Structure 1
Amino acid sequence: MTKASSSIKSKALKTAIQLLLTVAALAIVLSKTDTERLTSLIRHAHPGYLLGSLLFFNISKIVNAVRLNRFFLAIGLRLSAWYNLKLYYLGMFYNLFLPGGIGGDGYKIYVLKKNHGLTVMNIFSAVFWDRVSGIFALIFLSALLIIPSSFAALYPGEMLWIWVIAGVSYPLSLLLTWLFYRQFMPVFIVTAFESLVIQATQVISAWFILMAMSATAHQIDYLAIFLISSVATILPLTVGGAGAREVTFFYALNHLGLDVNTGIALSLIFFAISAISSLVGILSKIRHEKSGENAEAVD
């Protein structure tokens, strides 16, 4: 067996596992929810609020692209804002629709190495630390939303640890940056702020979805679980996080005694907004392929 065929089989197996886990997770959740009410919530969602959700989701992604470009600049890679944004959206598309294959981050690393001559490790460090900085912001904001949520009433003794997690998130991020990725120290403060903006705008996007469904009660709980579910989607176990987010909503809302259907609807609509937004990336690539330009560069 050649190395290439072995790699193809490995990617195919990874894709099959991701699809299987996604289908299994969604099947478990949907079998235990009121699908008629779930469908009604989604079908009758207010389009104006959904447009607001779409807007803030894409604001978060544009800021994310800006943050990633800042990390690229720190390793000596100068990309135009427009080139970087199109590459970022194309990466989004690959993450959602090409599970188990090259993936969005892998595609960005491949294109930038091919077209700009940097080492894989240099580009990987920027892409990887962009992800890590987002995780710290996600954990920090998750902790801040858990504190005023219904979880605090259920687990008052554990709230001290939530405060500790919130308090150490950014000092730990700063320490790890200094220890392992010192080249990013000059941009630490601005990228840390951008990370908070990214997660905050995604929370606002989720809030718009709740408003679209007229879900005005327990919004802090739903938004706290939304952020926790985002942590659950970090590992690429399912396709674009689908399934993992719904399972988190299902068990967390059941635990709090809240309406599961609203949470699952929020999750499914958010995924749909992510998928629709990512189409910008592939449409841009198709347009450039038709015009005869370099399809890999998407510039």
Structure 2
Amino acid sequence: MHGYGPSEKIFGNAPLHSIQFAENMSSAKSKAVLVIRLAVSLGLIGFLFLEVDWAGLISRFQSVDLYWLGLMLIIPHLNILLSAWKWQRLLKALNISADLGRLVAVYFIGTFFSNFLPSMIGGDIVRVLQLSRNRSETSGVVAATFAERFLGLAALVTFVSLILLHGRVTAIFPVIPRLVAMAVVIYALSLVLVFQEKYLVLLKPFRRLRTVDNLLSWVSSAQRKLFEYKKKKGPVIGAYCMSIGFYLLSMCTVYTAGRSLGIHLDAATVLVVVPLVLFVGLLPISIGGLGLNEGSYVFFLTLFGLSSVEAFSIALLLRARILFTGILGGLIFLLHKERATSPAARPNILLLGDYSGNNAGHNALLSALIDELQSAGPCRLLVPSIKPGLLRRLLGPKENVEVIGIAPWHMSLKFLGLPIWRALKKTHCILLTDNLFYDTGLLNLFKNNLLALLVITAYARGHAKPLVYYNSAVGPVQTALGRWCIRRLAERMNLITLRDEQSKAFLDQIAPGVKSIVTADSAFRVSVDGLTEKTLNHRSLWHRFSSGSPLLGVNLSHHLLQPIHGGVEKALSKSEYIKGVAETFRGLSSGEFGDLVFFVTHDKDRAVTKAVARELGTADQITIVNYEEFLARDIAGLASRLSCFIGTRYHELVMCAASGVPLIGINCGEKIAPLLNSLELPHLVMDRDDFVGIDAGDRLARLIDSAISARDVLKSNVRRMREEAAKGVGLLMERGYVPAKAS
């Protein structure tokens, strides 16, 4: 082997000092290019700011439409999801496995580096470094990343070529056909260079530079991986189609940016301008396209009839969106950690339900579910929530419980998104809880989960993961599509346990032949033992509850003010109904049943509760317990000290029943009457229309007396309901869906 002296390098026989000089020159050149690009970006953006009408610009941003703004923020993140999926398919074609959630996180990180660091540290390089796990896979990752970008460029060239069909464009820009032809030629030559290894010899004279030599070694290795795509045309064609989808979504982003500012862009303008701006953005003369993209939008959009203020406001809003996504990428970069791939010691159980933390009754239900499942055996519970921080705080310390964020900024539309998909992959069993089988707002993914559940359950069935509809209800169902969805979901369940006979009758009607078992709601098993120190230290509140004086608890739902089958709304306005409710409470004999305590157990109930309290005008005698201030078990513990409870929400009534508190249900929906029927107390239901009007106070007083007299009946039936609810977890253990404690 040839030996090299101290003055020579292993990359050739050139003297060390000459190569160092060349590398220093290259470094100096890179710094000079960076300074030039920075100057171009600052110059362009500065020029635009100097020329703009500031008054008009500020006026545009003061009247932003939040609906369209929200869409504008969501669509680009769908684009990231699509790009990550495209990248995953290209990696899979090279036999490189990668979790989609991880690829999305890496894509966000790459976006951060592309936008906030000098361009010499490209986002693609960061993506390759983040994803490469060992040296043997690095070349494949490079090849897949290059192919992804190259196919994206092909899709962009396709769109720019189609612009030639727009006669107005070629009339305004006669140079465009030449530019497109040049782009096509460059693209074709690039294909030849990429897939012909012999052309790399043209760079051989530059191999004395260490960076060039290392680059050629990487390119040669990645090129061999790229050759594999010649035999796998399916993933390549699919990735190209996804790139077309990427640019269509990008056009939608620009359109929604305009609509959010009150600017209506026609389809032709968007289809022409967006590809041109992105095409111009390929020029390496600025940092992250700053200034260049904004200038391009102003230039092209004004030619299509927009004012400079309108065009620049759209460009600025799009830049703000890019910065927002980049910041998200930076946060992910700081928080992102590789997780161990070894199987967990405890099996994961996914609990699906409306657990936002905004409903004290749902929090009590979830707390009871956690306690009963973990008392059955060792398991780890995964709980999706649109407000994970609030839910964690209101649940209190819970071991082996992971709250998963499913808000749009978590890349999720409630149950549809990356967080649920990742949870599904690692879960052992899926429990559908908290009455998910109803069709109100069926097509609204933010309000109804049936369509999302069809996707989730299809995946679960395909991967042999048990599905259980657990201790829940069915209904209301008012549409044919809703009935079909529920029937399909019921047929996919491995086990169905329902909380009341009405739900069973309803399900038997919708899905005949599907077996279900009536148990009871798990919230009957909520713990009411003890209060936390925070509650005991809440002096004004604890003084009221520990004084020994009788207290009358009241929970007023906002549903009281909504029209139900042509009810009281036809006769009374909302303000009149609120006054009527206040008069009903005034109609109770003063002090006979104790001071009023209002329980605000849902975010939407706060307004109606405060309105009634103001009408009563006795703030010194009224206490308001806000669900946001106390843990679920504290709410139940405080409720247990009431002399009677008047409620309008199902799980709040269950929580009080579990505490042994006499209760009255105000029927403003379809859930309250079945609950009181199951407790053998059907006479303790008061219709919403009867809650106001002449003698409403007297009627309520008689019901309170009846409820107090029926305390023993209530307690007896609650014990029965606890036992029935326990059958549900017993069935789970019997079938092996949840682990049983070792004997």
> Structure 1 residues 150 and 258 mapped into 2: Cα distance closer, same or farther (>3 Å)?
farther
1:92 corresponds to which residue? Answer: 111
> Structure 1 residues 200 and 92 mapped into 2: Cα distance closer, same or farther (>3 Å)?
same
1:207 corresponds to which residue? Answer: 255
Residue 47 of structure 1 and its aligned partner are, at CA, apart by: 1.6
Q: Provide the aligned length of Structure 1 versus Structure 2.
A: 285
Q: 1:75–1:183: 8 Å Cα contact kept in structure 2?
A: yes
The reply to whether residue 35 of structure 1 matches residue 54 of structure 2 is yes
Q: Following the alignment from structure 2 to structure 1, what is the Cα–Cα distance between the partners of residues 130 and 263?
A: 43
| Percent pairwise identity | 18
Residue type of the partner of 2:327? L
Pairing 1:38-49 to 2, within 5 Å after superposition: 38-49=57-68
Q: 1:21–1:238: 8 Å Cα contact kept in structure 2?
A: yes
Q: 2:228 aligns with which of 176, 180, 183?
A: 183
Q: 2:151–2:243: 8 Å Cα contact kept in structure 1?
A: yes
Residue 123 of structure 1 and its aligned partner are, at CA, apart by: 2.9
The reply to whether residue 71 of structure 1 matches residue 116 of structure 2 is no
Q: 1:70–1:187: 8 Å Cα contact kept in structure 2?
A: yes
The reply to whether residue 193 of structure 1 matches residue 234 of structure 2 is no
- SS of 1:240's partner is coil
> Structure 1 residues 253 and 55 mapped into 2: Cα distance closer, same or farther (>3 Å)?
closer
Residue type of the partner of 1:131? R
1:245 corresponds to which residue? Answer: 293
CA deviation map 1:49-102 (0-9, x unaligned): 011111111111110111112222233321111111111110011000012342
Which has more helix, going by share of residues?
1
Q: Following the alignment from structure 1 to structure 2, what is the Cα–Cα distance between the partners of residues 176 and 41?
A: 49
Residue 138 of structure 1 and its aligned partner are, at CA, apart by: 1.8
CA deviation map 1:216-270 (0-9, x unaligned): 2555224521221111222443222121112222333454554222222222211
Q: 2:298–2:315: 8 Å Cα contact kept in structure 1?
A: no
Q: 2:72 aligns with which of 53, 73, 85?
A: 53
CA deviation map 1:187-233 (0-9, x unaligned): 12111111111111111111111111222255522452122111122
The reply to whether residue 230 of structure 1 matches residue 275 of structure 2 is no
Stretch of structure 1 that moved more, 70-79 or 264-273:
70-79
Q: TM-score, normalised by structure 2?
A: 0.34
Stretch of structure 1 that moved more, 20-29 or 278-287:
278-287
Residue type of the partner of 1:221? T
Q: 2:258–2:265: 8 Å Cα contact kept in structure 1?
A: no
Q: 1:150–1:221: 8 Å Cα contact kept in structure 2?
A: no
Q: Following the alignment from structure 1 to structure 2, what is the Cα–Cα distance between the partners of residues 265 and 104?
A: 27
> Structure 1 residues 10 and 72 mapped into 2: Cα distance closer, same or farther (>3 Å)?
farther
Q: 2:315 aligns with which of 237, 247, 267?
A: 267
> Structure 1 residues 89 and 262 mapped into 2: Cα distance closer, same or farther (>3 Å)?
same
Residue 122 of structure 1 and its aligned partner are, at CA, apart by: 3.7
Residue 153 of structure 1 and its aligned partner are, at CA, apart by: 5.7
Residue 13 of structure 1 and its aligned partner are, at CA, apart by: 4.5
CA deviation map 1:90-132 (0-9, x unaligned): 001100001234221111222334x232365443322222112
Residue type of the partner of 1:137? A
Question: Mind listing any 5+ residue stretches in structure 1 that lack a counterpart?
Answer: 295-299
Q: Following the alignment from structure 1 to structure 2, what is the Cα–Cα distance between the partners of residues 43 and 12?
A: 40
Which has more strand, going by share of residues?
2
Q: TM-score, normalised by structure 1?
A: 0.79
> Structure 1 residues 225 and 275 mapped into 2: Cα distance closer, same or farther (>3 Å)?
same
> Structure 1 residues 119 and 82 mapped into 2: Cα distance closer, same or farther (>3 Å)?
closer
Pairing 1:129-144 to 2, within 5 Å after superposition: 129-144=147-162
Q: Following the alignment from structure 1 to structure 2, what is the Cα–Cα distance between the partners of residues 218 and 67?
A: 29
Q: Following the alignment from structure 1 to structure 2, what is the Cα–Cα distance between the partners of residues 178 and 237?
A: 24
**Rg larger for:** 2
Q: 2:302–2:311: 8 Å Cα contact kept in structure 1?
A: no
Question: Mind listing any 5+ residue stretches in structure 2 that lack a counterpart?
Answer: 1-16, 197-225, 341-743
Residue type of the partner of 2:142? F
Q: 1:127 aligns with which of 145, 150, 153?
A: 145
Q: 2:87–2:145: 8 Å Cα contact kept in structure 1?
A: yes
> Structure 1 residues 236 and 42 mapped into 2: Cα distance closer, same or farther (>3 Å)?
farther
